[in-house]
Amino acid sequence: MQETSLYPHVSVDCAIFGFDGEQLKILLITRTGESEEGRYSDMKLPGSVIYESENLDDAAYRVLYELTGIKNIYLQQFRSFGSPDRTKHPRDIVWLENAIHMKIGRIITVAYVALIKINQKLRGFADGYEAHWCNLSEIGQLAFDHNEVVEGALNYVRKKIEEDPTGMYELLPKKFTEAELRNLHEVIFGEKVDIRNFHKKFISLNYIIPLEEKQQNVAHRAARYYRFDKIIYNKSHR
Amino acid sequence: MQETSLYPHVSVDCAIFGFDGEQLKILLITRTGESEEGRYSDMKLPGSVIYESENLDDAAYRVLYELTGIKNIYLQQFRSFGSPDRTKHPRDIVWLENAIHMKIGRIITVAYVALIKINQKLRGFADGYEAHWCNLSEIGQLAFDHNEVVEGALNYVRKKIEEDPTGMYELLPKKFTEAELRNLHEVIFGEKVDIRNFHKKFISLNYIIPLEEKQQNVAHRAARYYRFDKIIYNKSHR
DNA sequence: ACAAAAGTGTTCCGCATACACCCATGC
DNA sequence: GCATGGGTGTATGCGGAACACTTTTGT
């Protein structure tokens, strides 16, 4: 273990929201360690100290790639967290020193958000790395200031989606029903939307293309499938 | 000079926008140094490497305070810049090493924005520190990636003002005319607004209090003064 | 009298909201 | 035939955008 560095370490943390078709989840890593009160186990956001000469964005993409095998997604820096207090919990300090193999004065983190679709492959992959998709309502006390990071990330995502809804369609299958999109809205914003008003807006969007195909074998009237046309979207948005 | 640190240095840079009653300016520091091509002189944003155990926000406030003597203002972190390329210019590397008295691998900066009113005291104070209020349209090539920082800061400020106009009133005298506020809008957003529509909205705001006092000795019809009532504003905005 | 800026109303359009009933399908 | 969710229209209000003339004051 090296001696204490006077200079701050910089990390990236990723708040990766995943949509499994029904609910919005957040990807968390199980952290276990030894503290004065014995062994503990809690959760943290995936993150990493940045490498030398590594772009911040690159570091975030690296963390995400190492954890999920996914690239080329909607990944955005949204804030830095740099209070010295964020590592004041003894448990956090000990854990960090073990992880980085160095005494830590403090650590500043640059936080990123991502929105991805949870597919079957991803479920298995994440589990292999002790990463878990957790319901947003069920996350407890996270390591460091990660509760605050998640909160900030969710607010950021809501704002972003409002000004550019492209990210939503990455979370849905290529062919999706209006109800699927509506449900996605509801879980992201945490509130019900009016079905008819949503419909009116939905059909007015020229980049939502209705398909001939409909649902099969559902116990009610079959819903039409639609697709998102990115090219049309880009044309009409600068 | 110490040996190269493998760990990144972290700085804060402040994009401080000032309003002098007519135009929007940005506070820049003159930087001079020696390079292969001889002495040079250019401009940079005020900034500083953060101290050990110093909160990021505190560091930003410290820089601002040291430079302007001003506290308790609208100061917001808005993005971090961490590309290793941002210090690729040889001039920037040499300058940094002289400033920090240490070899620099890379430096990550957390950028802040502030909006302040340029009063008479502030003009003198800034000049004493080789800081200058520059017209936004007249800034040339800045040090590091500071052009990008300024650009990002301005966009951020515009967004923020749209959702919370409180910051605007910090830039105006306590008593101000409708035209002064309108001009402020125009310089922040860089476009003309319709006078009558602006007026309609202006008088509909319950936190803008009309005063009996009017302009004196103007070569045209005297305009009424108004004041901003922060208490009323806060009551009607959560 | 003229220059210069203050002050003011109407119309139109698009967008958000509120709200309820019939339709198709599988069981 | 019934349960389940799919699919649809109308009326209302608010806020933004366009647009021009009269008033006041100093010179």
* Chain B touched by A84 (CB under 8 Å): yes
Comparing A220 with B69, the larger pLDDT belongs to: A220
Do B105 and A53 make contact, defined as CB atoms within 8 angstroms? Answer: yes
Per-residue pLDDT, averaged over A212-234, amounts to: 95
Which of B6, B57, B82 minimises the CB distance to A110? B82
Q: How far is CA B147 from the centre of its chain?
A: 13
Q: Residue A62: what pLDDT?
A: 93
Give CA angle at A47 (B152, A132), nearest 5°: 120
Per-residue pLDDT, averaged over B227-234, amounts to: 94
Domains of chain A plus CATH, in order, are 9-163 (3.90.79.10), 172-235 (1.10.10.10)
Per-residue pLDDT, averaged over A20-44, amounts to: 89
- Please give the protein residue whose CA is closest to the C1' of the nucleotide D9: A196
Q: Which of A36-45, B10-19, B202-211 has the lowest mean pLDDT?
A: A36-45
Tokens 């956090």 appear where? A92
Q: Residue A27: what pLDDT?
A: 92
pLDDT in tens, B130-173: 788 999 989 999 999 999 999 999 999 999 999 889 989 999 99
Q: How far is the CA of B227 from the C1' of C7 (A)?
A: 18
Q: Residue A5: pLDDT above 60? A: no
pLDDT in tens, B76-105: 899 999 888 887 788 888 888 888 887 776
pLDDT in tens, A109-125: 999 999 889 887 776 66
Q: Residue B225: pLDDT above 90? A: yes
Amino acid identity for residue B162 in this structure: E
pLDDT in tens, A169-181: 999 999 999 999 9
Split at pLDDT 50, 70, 90, the class of A2 is very low
pLDDT in tens, B21-47: 999 999 998 888 888 888 999 999 999
Find out whether B186 and B192 touch, Cβ atoms under 8 Å: yes
Split at pLDDT 50, 70, 90, the class of B4 is very low
Bases of chain C below 7 A from a protein C-beta are: 3-10, 16-20, 23-27
